[in-house]
Structure 1
Amino acid sequence: MGRITARRPIERITVGRGSARRVDTLAVEEPLEIRLAGRPLAVTMRTPGHDVELAAGFLVSEGVIARGEDFRGAIHCGGPGAGGEGNTYNVLDVALAPHVAPPSPDLARSFYTTSSCGVCGKASIDAVETVSSYDVATDAATVPAERLAQLPGVLRAHQAAFDKTGGLHAAALFRAGEADAGAPDADDAAPLVVREDVGRHNALDKAVGWALLGGRLPLSGTVLQVSGRASFELVQKAVMAGIPILSAVSAPSSLAVELAERSGLTLVGFVRGDTMNVYTRGDRVV
């Protein structure tokens, strides 16, 4: 898996049975500096891979861009620590379309200091409601409860890097409704995309970036399935991408529920076996 995983020697201890030396596989974590037209914008700790998607999704999440035509391209370049020895692939320079206004320097500094955890607090909820280009409250998508119950297992089956490391979060996008019988893509059980990363926010940004680069925003009529808890930040990113339904295998935070309620997003948590908790917009779960 290239730079996604790394192998390190460890001592494995079994209580009552002693210890043994072995090699363990770890998830790689490295910094990625995102630049806009050569100027530093944000630094995030991520698992290498799908970096262009990560940058594109991050810019969607922060309201800088909203559609595929806003994103012109990106290239890895040498960065701090390269020492003249070549490209570190830890700096990505992004070019936006001429019609996209760059973020102000003050906003760029804010990105730089908070990119690891996203936005927080009451003012941020108001900002999300104001900035998002998409109104998820008007999305008419519905999803059968039986289908939601299956999604964690489908997501888990596609987590190749997690199988090796046990240390990666994942985010996947699915179609919400039943497939049309005669449609070419009739297998709605299959995910549209799955992305893994040491950061749950990065995994989602990669999935959203995939959608942006493919001209698929807004993500109307989709379900976002995540492998962990539903934080405020994940709800924020879903709203910014136009995703109407967010399903998580673990608990949501109080602020995540508040933002989901105010934004009209369906938030489902503790999706385990045949049970789940529906926190907001339960009319979409049938």
Structure 2
Amino acid sequence: MKVLLASPRGFCAGVNMAIDSLEIALKAFGPPLYVYHEIVHNKYVVTHFREKGVEFVDHLEEVPHGATLLFSAHGVSPEVREAARERNLTAIDATCPLVTKVHLEAIKYARQGYTIFLIGHEGHDEVVGTMGEAPEAIVLVETPEDVAGLTVADETKLAYLTQTTLSVDDANRIISRLKERFPQIASPPKDDICYATQNRQEAVALLCSEANLVLVLGSQNSSNSQRLAELARERGVAAHLIDGAGDIEAQWLDGVETVLVTAGASAPEVVVEECLDFLRDHYGAEVEVRTTREEHVSFPLPKELRAVSVE
């Protein structure tokens, strides 16, 4: 068996920053340490931190007054920030800067009186946080079919934004419909879909035609990981989203000569290595790294931790 190992894959700069933030906060403040929602959408990462004494909460009422709370990479709404202040929590903001950019764009357009179409998935942590910045001005658009039913009072004051972890192809289909329906709609000055999401999708698009099977390391609640598997299937290649080697089913590999292995932006390299070891041990796999683009992006730690990390 031949394994094509996609590069880039796995952790993006925002995820690296969020995980480093949690590690440093644990050393500085010790457990119990609280995180609003999962730090990133990955079962392995969440389990790793739970075992170190981190508690992931979905409601701030679960956090004791005066405790230390870290906001996850997906961002939160102003309402959550205010609730944290009211509970006298020491808040550390590990929101990915690319998500913060979308929040700031939403605030800007809302202040200018625009109606904002947010392209994304209902209930996703990032979407909930972004919509919370200007709930009266934002309308969620999930599919191209949604566009036909949109109505606005002033078509000259319209803008669209996108969730950062979407499929580029899916987002573009919706954007095309929006521009057809509302020719004057304003677009963000720079694409909202994050560089890492685009790069990982590009790698799958370029490489999957050489494979009989695609294995995507990532959790089921990871939007960007789901998109990678969908991208391969859309191109006629069987694909499975797995948390680790333990999820691999033998029948998937029957008659398979070439496997493309990649990982979503929230999946750690350790689960990739375990998957490769499994394929080597059971199928004599030879691994070939295929690089489609170089990445050299990094983000600074939250300001609350910059002094702590130096000590």
The bucket for the TM-score relative to the shorter chain is under 0.3
Which structure: greater helix fraction? Answer: 2
TM-score, normalization by structure 1:
0.23
Greater relative CO, 1 or 2 (CA 8 Å, sep 6+) = 2
Give the number of the structure whose alpha-carbon radius of gyration is greater: 2
Which structure: greater strand fraction? Answer: 1
TM-score, normalization by structure 2:
0.22
